[in-house]
């Protein structure tokens, strides 16, 4: 919720029944969950963010954990994938080393991630959003942006009410919650969604620039630690200070300077494009003890390639390129990427390219982590077709399908390749 403009009539609805509200509570159901804003019924761009997505699904499936701190991650040397809001009270955060998370919250329940379960829930939410507007762009497994312009006649309600109904439907049918940001553009919608979590509905309108002026620059997308340091060296620590820079000063920030200043002013011209989903699929593991040498690293890489192949198949996607990730014993991250001649879902094909990338890095360095990711992604219909010059790929695909079928019936350990 945001402050009212002077002399402007505030529009407000009840989060629990959609009734238009004038006072502090809903006259129909008595709820005090009210969203208010002078432009509530005229804004069309929404950012949807699931609240602590993995952890929320685990708590949904284990009601006895509802009031307990929960961390999704694993391994003594692993990292936190996500954690519930109770765990966050203790200082636990995503991407934090697991040993540190356990020090901060030793009583937390720790569960390994179950990506198939999370992907299934993501597909259900996606289906609900696609029913609202064709202009829906997934940002990740638990995040999306929607353009609801022109949909009021279809839904017989303004976007704010349509989004309100979506939040209640997700909670009722899937047992998890979402937070909504509503604004005139994608940037402000994302910032709004982050301010209302969890189970929030926050609105930014014409007042956004003034409200954000005192906020730290690091909350802006694209401002990482290094950029924040450079700005601080220039005496710029708030969004308002950044927004006040003229064109000449903006050029001092590099090629991205003018765009960065525009973001600080709340400006964003990006359209919602369903064909350009910011999505990647990957698998990684942190070793119990550091590993070195091509052979030992390849053994770990093969298991990850199998896992990546399964995830691609579950998402009906294929890898058009690969990204190898390594983290040294000294916590230095190395990434190497390569486009593939043909898109694939096959672990063998992924492994052949990935091991070539690994060979360039296996120089005796000790590594604590290895990962393999698929980027960019394409539809599975483009994958592993083969041709007159490639008669092995169709056979590989048939063999992999048979392996997958056996594992689905009898478990992951039912059949193993010699390499594994």
Taking alpha carbons only, the member of 248, 270, 73, 296 closest to residue 190 is 270
- DSSP-derived letter for residue 23 is S
Task: Yes or no: say if 338 and 320 are a contact pair by the CB < 8 Å rule.
Answer: no
| Structure tokens that stand for 305 in this block | 């390639």
Which alpha helices (H) appear in 217-314, and where do they start and end?
225-233, 239-243, 247-251, 257-264, 294-314
At residue 340's C-alpha, the angle toward residues 334 and 346, to 5°, is: 95
Work out whether the CA dihedral 11, 125, 343, 311 comes out positive or negative.
positive
Task: State whether residue 342 is helix, strand or coil.
Answer: strand
> CB within 8 A of 227, min separation 6: which ones?
253, 260
A 10 A CB-CB count for 54 gives 27
3-state helix, strand, coil in the chain (%, to 5): 40, 25, 40
Q: Are 243 and 211 in contact (CB under 8 A)?
A: no
Active-site positions read 143
Q: Report the DSSP beta bridge partners of residue 181.
A: 47, 202
């Amino acid at each position: 919720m945001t402050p009212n403009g002077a002399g402007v009539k505030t529009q407000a609805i009840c989060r629990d029944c959609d009734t238009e509200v004038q006072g502090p509570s809903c006259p129909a159901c008595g709820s005090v969950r009210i969203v208010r804003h002078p432009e509530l019924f005229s804004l069309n761009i929404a950012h949807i963010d699931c609240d602590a997505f993995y952890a929320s699904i685990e708590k949904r499936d284990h009601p006895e954990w509802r009031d307990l701190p929960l961390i999704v991650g694993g391994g003594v040397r692993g990292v936190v994938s996500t954690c519930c809001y109770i765990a966050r009270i203790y200082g636990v955060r995503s991407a934090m080393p697991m040993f540190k998370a356990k020090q901060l919250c030793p009583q937390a329940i720790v569960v390994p991630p179950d990506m198939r379960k999370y992907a299934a829930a993501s597909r259900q939410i996606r289906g609900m959003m696609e029913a609202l507007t064709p202009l829906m762009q997934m940002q990740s497994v638990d995040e999306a942006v929607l353009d609801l312009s022109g949909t009021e006649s279809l839904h017989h309600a303004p976007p704010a009410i349509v989004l309100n109904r979506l939040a209640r439907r997700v909670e009722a049918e899937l047992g998890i919650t979402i937070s909504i940001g509503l604004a005139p553009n994608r940037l402000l919608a994302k910032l709004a969604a982050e301010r209302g979590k969890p189970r929030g509905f926050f609105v930014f309108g014409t007042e956004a620039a003034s409200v954000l002026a005192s906020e730290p620059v690091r909350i802006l997308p694209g401002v990482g630690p290094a950029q924040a340091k450079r700005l601080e060296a220039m005496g710029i620590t708030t969004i308002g200070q950044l927004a006040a820079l003229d064109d000449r000063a903006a050029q001092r920030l590099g090629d991205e300077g003018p765009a960065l200043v525009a973001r600080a002013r709340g400006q964003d011209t990006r359209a919602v494009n369903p064909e350009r989903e910011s999505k990647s699929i990957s698998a990684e593991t942190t070793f119990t003890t550091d590993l070195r040498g091509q052979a030992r690293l390849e053994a770990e890489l093969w298991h990850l390639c199998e896992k990546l192949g399964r995830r691609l198949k579950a998402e009906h996607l294929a890898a058009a390129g690969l990204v190898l990730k390594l983290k040294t014993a000294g916590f230095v991250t190395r990434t190497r990427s390569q486009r593939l001649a043909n898109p694939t879902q096959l672990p063998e094909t992924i492994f052949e390219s990935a091991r070539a990338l690994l060979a360039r890095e296996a120089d005796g360095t000790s590594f604590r982590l290895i990962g393999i990711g698929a980027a960019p992604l394409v539809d599975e219909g483009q994958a592993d077709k083969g041709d007159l010059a490639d008669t092995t790929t169709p056979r590989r695909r048939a063999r992999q399908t048979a392996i997958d079928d056996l594992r689905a019936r009898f478990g992951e350990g039912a059949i193993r390749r010699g390499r594994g």
